[in-house]
């Protein structure tokens, strides 16, 4: 009798898993996506706009603090903000010298994610260049990762890195054989070339056609690269956003070929908006003048600002060093008016409310047109150009990102004025019937009513 109940239970679990696998979610993140790219037809996002007209969209998405790539992408898949998920910046705090390392490893995330929830539900998952996924519990994974130069004259190696950390190990060779062709170190994967987004979309398309995962997430980054170079508008920016739209169509077509299009929900989002900049403030130069940081003797550091483009976060060697904190606050108050008007200061309470790095003592949040630099030498201000992000997400609309959802389960015509980045994970969890505790909100108005 006990064996009979066991067999019945296993049969039920298997049936539930198969039923859940009938639903598919494709999550596409365009690095640097701004709402106007799909709200205004002049930008040329034809395919995303067609999806928007058949589905739901937001007029803006309030991001994470700082509004940079790795914290934001972790918020998207966890449904909580950086203070909880633990990816506070793109890169570690390194007052002794910047190594070039980023938060590549999934083990650094402190909370469950959609990946773990899908695994617990017995669903197949896939990732293509999604940040913070090296070693993640993903069935088919080509993570974003870089092998740093080991010697003089060497270059970083993204091809070898993706090959080395792919799961299963043969997957990277598989996508070269059947989807994109052989990569070279100079061309095909780096964000310097338009082929990067196209190749990533072809990788995702191959995985969809071959393995039909219940959940696939892909990160395409060329747009961000050119917005940094040209700012909010430029010929390269316009070409990159059209290229991203083409990449999305490649993925949509793959679902059609795989025979799962009618059971697939497509979600297009981003990590942050962009702001044009003209002037940079270097707060570590101020610390050097105060005797709290010495670029020539970094081991003696007492205080250090971790810069993230439009924000900077104060870290102390001794978190209990109140004297240094007071000295820094006083120095900030005594800066020339022209510099003080470049940013505002978040004290510990405001920083906690923004759910940024809990280890930082204070944060500086730049106004539009201004950014922060990491250098501790030279003048405190310097000219800047192009664009950046990293700002406090509630300071101005230009730093908002976007959200479009269409396909199975999405109610046509639903428009949300503003959602939070942490609200995306609850939607995906609902669509795939996953058990994931988040701080986000599920908006029932964007879901098709359940059949009675």
Residues 160 and 228 in one domain: yes
Cβ-contact 63, 401 below 8 angstroms: yes
**29 shares a domain with 130:** yes
**33 and 105 within one domain:** yes
User: What is the residue whose two structure tokens read 């633990």?
Assistant: 86
pTM, whole model, 2 decimals? Answer: 0.94
Same domain as 302, residue 253: no
pLDDT surpasses 50 at 371: yes
Q: Which of the four pLDDT bands, split at 50, 70 and 90, describes residue 189?
A: low
**CATH code for the domain of 283:** 3.30.1360
> How many other CB atoms sit within 10 Å of the CB of residue 73?
25
3-class state of residue 256 by DSSP: helix
Look at residue 1 and tell me if it is in a domain: no
Query: Are 59 and 39 within 8 A, CB to CB?
Result: yes
Residue listed under structure tokens 């917005």: 227
Residue 324 sits in the same domain as residue 237: no
Average pLDDT estimate for 3-22 = 46
Q: Tell me the pLDDT of the chain averaged across its residues.
A: 94
For residue 11, is it within any domain?
A: no
Tokens of 319: 């978190």
Q: Which helix (H) or strand (E) holds 58?
A: strand 56-62
Instruction: State phi, psi for 166 to the nearest 5 degrees.
Output: -65, 150
Question: Range of 350's domain?
Answer: 276-388
pLDDT, tens digit, 9 for 90 and up, residues 19-57: 457 999 999 999 999 999 999 999 999 999 999 999 999
Domain assignment present for residue 5? The answer is no
- The verdict on 177 and 89 lying in the same domain is yes
| Spatial separation of the C-alpha atoms in residues 244 and 238, rounded to whole Å | 10
Domain co-membership, 145 together with 268? yes
Confidence bin at 18 (pLDDT 50/70/90): very low
The distance of Cα 305 from the centroid of its chain, to the nearest Å, equals 22
Stretch 368-394: mean pLDDT, rounded? 98
pLDDT at 355 over 60: yes
The DSSP secondary structure of 263-282, one letter per residue, reads GEEEEEEES---EEEEEEE-
Instruction: Tell whether the model's pLDDT for residue 82 goes beyond 50.
Output: yes
- Rounded Cα gap, residues 147 and 346, in angstroms: 35
Helix intervals (H) in 354-435: 424-431
Structure tokens at 49: 């706009």
SS3 132: coil
What CA–CA distance (Å, rounded) separates 171 from 210? 11
Same structural domain, 374 and 237 = no
Q: Tell me how far apart the alpha carbons of residues 173 and 181 are, in angstroms, rounded to a whole number.
A: 9
Q: Please report the pLDDT score of residue 451 as a whole number.
A: 72
CATH number of the domain that residue 218 is part of:
3.40.720.10
Per-residue pLDDT at 190:
61
The answer on 195 and 164 residing in a single domain is: yes
Alpha-carbon span 281 to 120, nearest angstrom: 47
Check the CA dihedral 50-56-61-63 and report its sign.
negative
Q: Report DSSP state, residue 147.
A: B
């Amino acid at each position: 009798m006990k064996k009979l109940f066991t067999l019945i239970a296993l049969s039920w679990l298997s049936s539930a898993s198969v039923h859940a696998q009938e639903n598919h979610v494709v999550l596409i993140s365009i690095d640097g996506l701004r709402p106007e790219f799909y709200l205004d037809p002049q930008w040329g996002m034809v395919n995303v706009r067609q999806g928007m007209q058949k589905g739901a969209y937001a007029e803006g998405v309030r991001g994470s603090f700082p509004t940079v790539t790795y914290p934001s992408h972790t918020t998207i898949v966890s449904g909580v903000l950086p203070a909880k998920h633990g990816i506070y910046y793109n890169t570690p705090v390194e007052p002794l010298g910047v190594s070039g390392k980023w938060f590549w490893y999934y083990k650094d995330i402190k909370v469950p994610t959609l990946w773990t929830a899908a695994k617990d539900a017995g669903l197949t998952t896939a990732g293509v260049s999604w940040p913070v996924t090296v070693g993640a519990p993903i069935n088919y994974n080509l993570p974003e990762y870089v092998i740093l130069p080991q010697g003089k004259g060497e270059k970083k190696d993204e091809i070898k890195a993706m090959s080395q950390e792919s799961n299963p190990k043969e997957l990277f060779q598989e996508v070269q054989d059947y989807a994109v062709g052989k990569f070279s170190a100079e061309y095909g994967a780096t964000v310097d070339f338009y082929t990067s987004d196209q190749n990533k979309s072809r990788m995702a398309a191959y995985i969809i056609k071959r393995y039909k995962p219940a959940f696939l997430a892909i990160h395409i980054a060329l747009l961000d690269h050119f917005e940094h170079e040209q700012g909010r508008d430029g010929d390269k920016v316009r070409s990159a956003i059209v290229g991203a739209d083409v990449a999305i169509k490649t993925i949509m077509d793959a679902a059609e070929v795989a025979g799962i299009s009618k059971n697939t929900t497509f979600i297009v989002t981003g990590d942050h908006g962009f702001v044009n900049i003209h002037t940079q403030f270097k707060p570590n130069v101020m610390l050097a003048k105060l005797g709290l940081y010495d670029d020539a003797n970094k081991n003696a550091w007492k205080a250090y600002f971790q810069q993230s483009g439009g924000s900077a976060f104060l870290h102390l060697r001794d978190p209990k060093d109140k004297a240094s904190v007071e000295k820094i606050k006083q120095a900030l108050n005594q800066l020339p008016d022209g510099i003080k008007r470049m940013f505002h200061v978040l004290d510990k309470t405001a920083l906690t409310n923004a759910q940024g790095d809990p280890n930082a003592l204070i944060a500086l949040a730049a106004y539009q047109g201004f950014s922060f630099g990491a250098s501790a030498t030279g003048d405190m201000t310097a000219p800047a150009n192009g664009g950046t992000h990293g700002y406090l997400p509630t300071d101005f609309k230009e730093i908002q990102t976007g959200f479009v959802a269409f396909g199975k389960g999405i109610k046509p015509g639903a428009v949300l004025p503003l959602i939070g980045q942490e609200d995306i994970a609850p939607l995906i969890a609902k669509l795939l019937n996953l058990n994931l505790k988040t701080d986000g909100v599920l908006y029932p108005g964007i879901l098709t009513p359940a059949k009675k």
